[in-house]
Amino acid sequence: MNYSKMFLYEMKMTYREREVIFWMLIFPIALMLILGFVFGSSGDIKLTIGVVDLDGSAVSRAIVEALESIDAIEVKTGSEDTERAELKDDNRNALIVIGEGFGSEVVQGGTGEITMIVNRSDVTTAQITESTVRGIIEEIGREMAKAKAKEGADAGETIAINVEEEQDIEDFEYVDFMVPGVLAIVIMFGGIMGFSEEVAVRREKGILRRVKVSPISLPTFLAAGMTMVVITALIQAVILLLVGSLVFKIKINGNYFYMALVVILGALSFVALGFMISSLTKNSKSAMLAGNAVAMPMMFLSGVFFSIAWVPAAIAVIARMLPLYYLGDALREVMINSASLADIWIDLVVLIGFGLICFGVAVKFFRWE
């Protein structure tokens, strides 16, 4: 009975404030819309391209050398089986296969064919990879056509690019990558800022002191607050996915139960962090400042808006030390790549372990007044 009363109290206290509604519902939608429309800067990317030269002619070798001379590309050559395996293991951004007879076809004035297979497991780089590699090969083809024209030969199309889909994977857009990141950030802020500051404010106003002398136990008090955060996170997830589906036509392939489970674990993990911050700080102002100091760097360093493959190695190491990285990764894998819980077990273990550690510290240092 005490739990239900505390839960109703938490709900009334949360939703009666207009600014709370703004930060929990309107702000995440606005953030997603802004990022979806204007976020497009990809920065400098080093692409790893596998090249299989089945022709072995002077013409095909010239193409391989031209690719190797480009700073933005790291070329890896090998057998077709080896390079396909490397592509499957996500060690290549794309694979180029120059077929047998390519050189003789070009020399005779025909069109040589090159097969391109793009690694689409990382949606943030797949489109960039395809457009970059295609542009480079087309430029090589134009230079070859110019050389043929100078010799008086037919200067028609020299190279034809066949794009092979190695797996039955839908073509994802950046917004499909971005929406799970926005959801992860919303969950993080809901746990850190919402719960830590609220507990600190109630301590200052003496509400916690009155709760302490009531029949309500600390576990009941915390369970009610955590339940409210979890329900809010689930509501936010539903709203964001609906808006994303209606506005950006995002593609969601995953199991909805798995998505809900990840959202719940993420919410509990970050509400434990928020609880720890409120237990270690003196007042609501310091709780707010500490919450911002933790949340803001995490938002920009965890790779929720971009692949950590784009950033320097040191930043990638930092990202993997932050819980938001694992929440974003779990949401993305489940929503985009239809991952099972077994596929994201590392993410889940990190979130659970992080939450338990924060909760243990929070309980140890918790103060009613």
pLDDT band at 264 (very low <50, low <70, confident <90, very high): very high
155 HSE (CA, 13 A, CB side): 11
Instruction: Say if CB 105 and CB 63 are below 8 A apart.
Output: no
Average of per-residue pLDDT across 147-163: 68
Alpha-carbon span 82 to 126, nearest angstrom:
21
| Structural tokens at position 127 | 């489109």
Pair 208, 353 in one domain: yes
Q: Is the pLDDT of residue 131 over 60?
A: yes
On whether the pTM is more than 0.75, the answer is: no
Out of 95, 130, 164, a domain closes at 164
- How long, in residues, is the chain? 369
Burial 321-334 (b: 16+ CB within 10 A, else e): ebbbbbbbbbbbbb
Residue labelled with tokens 């719960």: 195
Rounded to whole angstroms, how far apart are CA atoms 334 and 206? 43
**In this model, does residue 95 exceed pLDDT 70?**
yes
The average pLDDT across 124-146 equals 75
Domain count across the chain: 2
Name the band, by pLDDT with cuts 50, 70 and 90, for residue 261: very high
Residue type, 261: L
How far is residue 279 from each of residues 78, 229, 355, measured CA to CA in Å?
57, 18, 15
Q: Which residue has the higher pLDDT, 354 or 7?
A: 354
pLDDT above 90: percentage of residues in the chain: 10
Residues 182 and 230 in one domain: yes
Mean pLDDT rounded to a whole number for the chain: 78
CA distance 122 to 134: 18
Looking at residue 113, what is its pLDDT? Answer: 84
> Are residue 275 and residue 225 in the same domain, yes or no?
yes
Domain closes at, from 164, 198, 231: 164
Same structural domain for residues 192 and 160? no
Question: Other C-beta atoms within 10 Å of 11: how many?
Answer: 15
pLDDT at 312: 66
If asked whether residues 230 and 359 sit together in one domain, one would say: yes
Strands 112-118 and 94-98: antiparallel
Least confident of 53-62, 258-267, 318-327: 53-62
Q: What's the start-to-end Cα distance of the chain, in Å? A: 25
Encoded amino acid at 179, one letter? V
Measured CA to CA in angstroms, residue 231 lies from 192, 234, 237, 258, 340 at distances of: 15, 5, 10, 16, 23
Q: What is the dihedral of CA 220, 226, 228, 231, to 10 degrees?
A: -130
Tokens representing 88? Answer: 């499957």
SS3 157: coil
CATH number, position 82: 3.40.1710.10
Hey, what are 263's tokens?
A: 């959202």
Q: Name the most confidently modeled range: 48-52, 108-112, 313-317.
A: 48-52
User: Domain ends where: 164, 191, 211?
Assistant: 164
55 shares a domain with 7: no
pLDDT for the residue numbered 121 = 65
Residues 188 and 324 in one domain: yes
Confidence grade of residue 43 (pLDDT, cut at 50, 70, 90): very low
Distance CA 178, CA 174 (A): 6
- The sign of the dihedral angle between the CA atoms of 346, 360, 319, 25 is positive
3-state secondary structure of 75: strand
Residue 222 CB neighbour total at 10 angstroms: 20
DSSP 105: H
pLDDT at 25 (0 to 100): 62
The tens digit of pLDDT for each residue in 169-228 reads 455 566 677 788 888 988 998 888 777 777 777 777 777 778 777 777 777 777 777 888
pLDDT value at residue 263: 92
- d(CA 282, CA 183) in angstroms, rounded, equals 30
- Looking at this protein, which amino acid is placed at residue 17? E
Q: Residue 290 belongs to what domain range?
A: 2-40+173-365
Q: What is the mean pLDDT of residues 241-246?
A: 82
**Same domain for 241 and 120:** no
* 182 and 35 belong to one structural domain: yes
**Residues 181 and 317 placed together within one structural domain of the fold:** yes
Query: Taking 60 as the threshold, does the pLDDT of residue 237 lie above it?
Result: yes
Distance separating alpha carbons of residues 37 and 32, to the nearest angstrom: 9
Give the DSSP H/E element, type plus range, for residue 98: strand 94-98
Looking at the structure, tell me whether residues 206 and 62 fall in a common domain. Answer: no
**Helix H or strand E encompassing 77:** strand 73-77
- Picking from 194, 219, 197, 203, the residue whose alpha carbon sits closest to that of residue 6 is 219
Q: Which residue has the higher pLDDT, 229 or 15?
A: 229
The predicted model gives 155-166 an average pLDDT of 71
CA distances, 133 to each of 47, 66, 73 (Å) = 9, 12, 9
Tell me: do 322 and 184 sit in the same domain.
Answer: yes
